[in-house]
Structure formats: C-alpha cells, structure tokens
Amino acid sequence: MKKRRCALLLTICMLTGIIGCGKPQSDEPAGASGLQQGEPAGTSEPQSGMPNTTGSGNGGAGQSGAVQYDEEEMEMLRNGVNGFSYHLFERLDGEENIFFSPYSLCSALSLLNLGAGSETKEELEALLGITDIEAWNDAMRAYMETQWQDETFVLTANSIWMREGKEWSEGIETDFLKPAGEFYKSELYEADFLGNPQDTLARINNWANDNTNGMIQEVLREIPIDAAMILMNAVYFEGKWEKPFMEEDTFEEVFVGTTGGNEIEMMHQYGEYYAYIETEVSPGASIKGIALPYKDSPLVMKIFLHDGRGEISSLFGALSTEEKEALLDSLDNAPREKIARLVIPKFTMEQEIKGLRDILQEMGMERAFRVGEADFDKIAEDLYVSQVLHKAKIEVDEQGTKAAAVTTIVTNDAAAPIEEEPIVFVADHPFIYVIQDTRTGMILFMGQVNHLE
C-alpha cells in the first residue's frame, strides 16, 4: 500500500468542478497544500447560514420538479426508500415519539455503498433495495437536482471528511471520490482528526447546522480516536401549507397520548377540502387518513388516525409493506372532501434514533460493522463502520412545516361525505404521519406522535 496523501490532494484540486459543489465556511484557516482544512477544494463563496435554494445539487427556485425523472429508476428508488422506512419504523420503540428521514438515511448509506465491495456491498444493496446500482445512483442525483419553488423546497447535502495523513486506496479517486461527487454532490474535506479533534468536531457540527438552517446544531460530541472517514448527509425541508391555519383558531385543548392527557396548542380549520379516506383494516377497526398539501409543490403531509381512540401503531404495524404503500397511495387518488372540522397539534419535536447500529444489523447490514470482514477496500484497507447516527427535527405551525435530518456514518480503521354526517379529523390522540413527494411517491420523513407536552 502506497502513501496516497500527496496524490490525493492533487486529485482533489483537479476534480474541483465535480466534487467542490458546496459552499465553504468563510472563516476556515488555510491548510496543507493550499487546501483549507475542513473546506471543499476550489470554492471561495462565504456561507450564509441559510440553505442555498439556487445552488447545484440543492434544488433551485423555479418550477417544482423541472428535472425530468426516469420513471423506472425513480420507482426503484421510491420502493427502496419506502421499504426501508417501513422496516425501520416497525423496529423503533412504539411507545415513544418517532421522527426520522428515510431519505437521509438511504442517501448516507448509498454514499457508503460506493466504497463497498463483495458481501459488504451485497448486504447494503439488499438493505436499500438496489437492483441496478447505476440506475439507483442516477435517480439519487436526479432527485437532488429537482428544482423547487421558493416557499416549498427540499435541500440535500452530502460531505466526506477524511483524516489527514491517512493511507488511502490506490484507486480511491476513481472508485469512490469521483462518483461521490458526480452522483451525490459530495463536498470533500480533509481534517486533522488526531492533532486537532476539537476543531474538526466544531467544523462537522457547523456543517450540520449550516445545511439544516440551524435546526440541527450538533451531531457528534467527540471524534472517535480511531475514526478514519466520516460520511454525512443533511436534508432540510421547508413547506408552506396550501391552506394556512389562522392563528386566532389556535387554542389549547387536551391531547390524550400514551402517557396521559396534556393541554396542547391545537390548530383548527373549518370547511376546507382535503383528500380524505376511511379504510377498514381489520374487523371493526378503521384508519382515517388526510393529506395536507404544501404550496406550489407535489409535497404533502399525510396523517393517519385510528377511527376512534385505539392504537394507530397496532393497526398500521399489522399491515404488510404492500398494504402500507396502498394506504399511502389511496390518498393520492382520493377525492377532496369537505372537512367540517380539522384539528392538528402545533408542535416541535427533535428525535435521535437510539441503537441504530443494532437495528441496521437486524435489517441485514452486518459485515459493514465487523472488523476484518467489512470490505471498503475501494477507500482503504481495514475500514469498518463503527457508528451510524441519525438526528431529525420537525416544527409544525399555522404557516407550514420545517423539518431537517442529518445522518452521520463513522468509519474506523480495523420514509362522498353525506350531509347529515359531516367529516371531522381531530388529531388529539396518537397519530402516524409522513412527509411524502407525491410525484415520486418517496417518503422524505416519517413519524409517530404518541405524547406531547
């Protein structure tokens, strides 16, 4: 194995047009070989702290969905992300609040997959539902390049943090770095993990903060001593309701959750029209669903309640993956009904998935975590995944929704009413919800509200 540091830095400069997509931090000190440590090569525009709605790979102002998707490629991506979402959801603690981004997790794992080989790669692709890796990567790139309107948009960012002085694979530039830049617009950073870990930690957390518009300010509390490379994905969503709620119609009511009842600010609407369903999923038990669209986009929030006050989690969990997909899809084809009274809570929630490493292993991603068995030789010898971290936050108010998620992967060495019976949809007890792109069908965020305070 040759020492690749000098050649690697030279290649970073040569590939600036491919990899240096992101905006750097304006206050970073200059690093070795003319590069700025903790900063992508070849860029100089200062970071504003607000996600860029016009930059490459981050979407742009203009007609939502202006990028043309290949239908077969996008169907595979949708099936993979949604299947991953359901399988992860059923493994999370059903008694606690849940919120995560399957799109962020799948993006980060897809980036990791670029550097995987042999059985490690087979397990990752089975986990993600990848049947054609080129088509999958093309679909990921196409979605990142979607053009969004100013009031409703999804911003995606990826970054690779490489330990300064580490010996890398001979073919890392061609096999890993170039496709990471081409398909995932990954920003490339070299950082002093060992000599200045606190500075590196600050830069990593600043990157998360900047790419989530300040919603997620910390993803790591320390740099693991054996860390060789850190892969990160950030997703930021902001959407204005097509029909905003009136602030004067927000007042406190009791939300009866799994831990009891609490007075919560509840938002109200009266007599508006929304896609609405009621479907019996077992004898005597039905699920009510509603789709709340975001302005000037194919994005919606879909909310599902037990028709009554039973547990939504048990009803939803009893459905197969195909039945869950059919449930979500049924709202896309449902007519808009007049909702006499719509009530949903105003809330902010931040969640971190505990034990994600163990959950991913249960889902079939095993060898990537095993010392001596993980195959990431495209990047470097003797690498394995030590941590997969995911943090997500959502804010729902009268005007709309803001949501963000960051996934961090640390590699170490060695998503016809009848007049006499008006429809009401009152989410004053536990509910499941998704933020979904109805054009692609892909789940961007998924959650369950069990209790509020």
- The pLDDT tens digits for 205-214 are 999 999 999 9
Q: According to the model, what pLDDT value does residue 24 have?
A: 32
Secondary structure class of 372 (helix, strand, coil): coil
pLDDT for residue 61 is more than 60: no
The answer to whether the beta carbons of residues 200 and 191 sit under 8 Å apart is: yes
More confident residue, 374 or 53: 374
What lies within 8 Å, CB to CB, of 371 at 6+ separation is 382, 384, 414
The residue type of 280 is E
Q: According to the model, what pLDDT value does residue 177 have?
A: 97
Domain residue ranges of the chain, discontinuous segments joined by +: 27-77+99-238+350-412, 247-347+416-449
Burial label for 366, CB within 10 Å (0-12, 13-18, 19+), is: middle
- Span 274-306, pLDDT tens digits: 999 999 887 778 899 999 999 999 999 999 998
Read off the pTM.
Answer: 0.87
CA distances in angstroms from 135 to 72, 74, 76, 111, 132, listed in the order given: 8, 8, 8, 14, 5
Q: According to the model, what pLDDT value does residue 66 have?
A: 59
User: How far is residue 123's CA from residue 364's CA, in Å, rounded to a whole number?
Assistant: 6
- Residues 236-245: what's their mean pLDDT? 97
Q: According to the model, what pLDDT value does residue 16 have?
A: 30
DSSP strand E in 37-146: where?
98-100
Q: What percent of the chain has pLDDT over 70?
A: 83
Q: Does domain 27-77+99-238+350-412 have CATH number 3.30.497.10?
A: yes
What topology does CATH give the domain 247-347+416-449? Alpha-1-antitrypsin; domain 1 (2.30.39)
Average pLDDT, the chain: 85
Report which listed range, 14-23, 200-209, 310-319, is most confident.
Answer: 200-209
